[in-house]
Chains A and B, each alone.
Chain A
């Protein structure tokens, strides 16, 4: 029988006894029962306090503990902590109680605060209570002993105890895992480095104010997910508070980098430490080290690691180096990659060769770009010739270096992507055909929308069948439509670096005379070249510059400016800038607009002085188009600069001119891209509801999408109210914001938010919603979300509906293009796998969202496409045959079924007379058939259509009894859908599928890195067997009719040129 005391009166009475033993007895019992009797004890606090203050009393600390507990229950956390510190060793950090957890949290906060203050004011940490420090250290020790290394690391980072962090990592049983966890935290905290200031110290730890039981509500779910991945298994005395701690770590950490001056300086410290720890490990994880170094912007470190790996005798190390290369390329950090590449030491060649190679090195670093094409084609060739003279090790190094440089320049991945997209192209021409047939010929908007849709649908696949088959129809495109039709070729051939120029040759301006071609197709061709070479335009820049200089037709200038901007994205090339500026100063509206954007593209993320120059001109000129172009350009220059951009943003958002304010919105969006920065969000929301100009309001809402794309779950919530605004511009912005930030996620809330907007009363809102919906649903199958199918049907209906507005029709056409973009093999991805933002993709979407004013900018969306593929590569950077598993039903992720040819519905269906008897018989037969189906236990598979099966079984039924006796079990089994699917390298792996990917044990190849998608190097476990390569089915494998560029690279370059698809024959417009 459990007897409980009902009152602490007895114990309290005992406290006033004279005998010390009795007092002790009372105290220890009070301590044990404090959580029940704290209200009673609270009246006696002075008595217990006097015991604590009594120097004679042997157990003062126990008294302190009791007082601390009572204060804790009274909600006086500061007093509680003060007394808990007095309790010394009696305060047991291992105890599993709310009291200990809360106080530990408080203690750590306090300590971290003090440490932070000490670090900021550069004083020595003398003011920190040693008892506090002791508690935190005890806590850390306990975490480490319990194997909760992640918690320990979180606390250590938060408290800026790098020594402890190192200790935690070194003592953890899984050091590499811990390190990657650390990296995750540190990455998140760079993103959130503003957080703390935003919330203010009072709000970052809302736990303090709340009553003890409800401690943990504040931690946002996704943060918690980040904070303790894989901890769900821990029963955990500390799970709750520590997830909270790690979350607060994000806040805390953000307090480090005050101001833009020291951009996450503490993060740099942490990363440096991580790199150091990594290097200490017996088998360093170079992949992660290099990621760290990239964030640290230390190309030397990466280069030296790569060199070490390349020089190693083992093949695996070289594979690893290649893998690092691919991973770095994925982040699209062009400047850094070039830097790494240039720092890789040349192979030691005989002294006679030395001077010229030095020379080329010098020119290359000086010019960084212009000679690139030559170098790529030339350098390997030269070194190849010398292989014989070199030692074997050097020769091997040289060979590997060539490959690595190919990877780092991004060309290898572009090449492979191109091949993948070409070979796996599953675009549905029938959709286009239907669109083409249903849009009115004379409606030029829909006509060019169809051309856009075609280009997007085939982006990067090099398949231009549709255009070829419809040359007559195509020729209706005149003027700017012709411009965009030609530019569309650039999207289709995106990444076709070697042959881009020869492909576009027929449309390019012919030297000097300017005879023949219309300026529109010439301008479009230049734009197309830019799209083909986007962000990798070293080979084409010179040509574009020449074209720009040699013309004064504004349409051609327009195309050339856009092309140059794309090709030289983010290079900050002064000469090109000057050229474009000259165009700008001609004050021609069309060319000036492109020049403005182009300048921005050129200077992406540099925050250079040029911005003020551009701003000055924007004030000067009369042309709205130019102002708009410049506004966007200025916004692009501050890409990712966060606080540094604040002055400029302030300047722009306060401008009289709504177009500049509109640019200010873009500046906010791009400067704080993907940071979820509260200040930026607040500002944007403010403009979204208060600006006088609809354009500004629309853009402000749209910009939210960019700020929030790293947390797509948040966006629908934040814009949900705006999506119900009375102002159609705001609604449009809300739709696109969701489209941008949730692009490619197939997020259910996003779809729910967009659904009503697709049938809005205002035509352009419908347009925006349709496009946004397509962006969200890209690569989402109907099996995953049934609304995808409904959406496809809705698009079809809109396109076919005669009474639908042109605007929403255009939206529907574009949406069908985006939905099936890149031959149904690409998705829109703004973050790389290592959570780095992809500059090109973000910039692409930002300019794309400008299509409101200028349709040809639609093509910029192709920059944000990234292939959803697993591409395994062997040592030769070829694609070997390799199989792996996808542990999910194939139908879940398969390509959408091709649309069937429209049946002639023109025949009017006559109502057939149905006799009641036959109807009954039919019904009976049907019922029986159904029952039979059920008993056979076969589910209708996705591929087999229902009616066919019904018929089958009914015939079976009507057949004789002997047939019934042996039902076809084998057939049924086939119909049963398997629960897995074997994929063959290179395979399409959609984002949602990634978690189902499994690599088979005992297969010939072993991935170097267990990544479910992207480029993965494969280790060959049976090198003696001959390799079977896939991806050799390019049509060009037989033909040798290739341009000079190809021959040049074929010599020594391991670029698998022979696998490249043949350039299609040029076709001419009949204008």
Chain B
């Protein structure tokens, strides 16, 4: 808990510092491209009136679906690769090759395959997260101390019991660490994937304000997406503290 409070303190320090830099930039640059932060914060009444909560929820729904699918497919795949040499031999080259490909470059293909609506957006988020999940799960299962299997197998554990008592708890810390990183990437990619085929989402809100040369609105959108990104980061941190008390 203390760790979490420290992180929140760190967030506020960073938030304050960024705003000071922003304000100084506004004072020295004298351009409409860098508005006064105070004016941007005063604009939040209008942001709320623009149904920003619906935009946030739409984005979270896309991120949530992409994340859910990545976990549903990535966790069993990572476990399979760790436990089966045959599966690892086939799947590892595929993962190794696909891992560094910038997933946003696949956006045109995703659009052609799954259309301009939510399908392609969720597919890109899914592709960003799943490789992180597979690699984190496979590596943490491979790092399990063999003596843990020895004590449980000798005590009559079934395969299901081994997965429940050893494999799943062993992958949890590493999985949450990698999710923290990949969720950040997924939120940042909203800017691209919500720039088409939708009228809802934080990415859409920013792109829309930008195209209307409404810089105050654009900055407000950037602040909202940043806060949501941080909230997701903090939520995963909180989950790590709650779910992995032994760390």
Q: Do A and B bind each other?
A: no
Instruction: Tell me the A residues contacting B by CB distance below 8 Å.
Output: none
Instruction: Tell me the B residues contacting A by CB distance below 8 Å.
Output: none
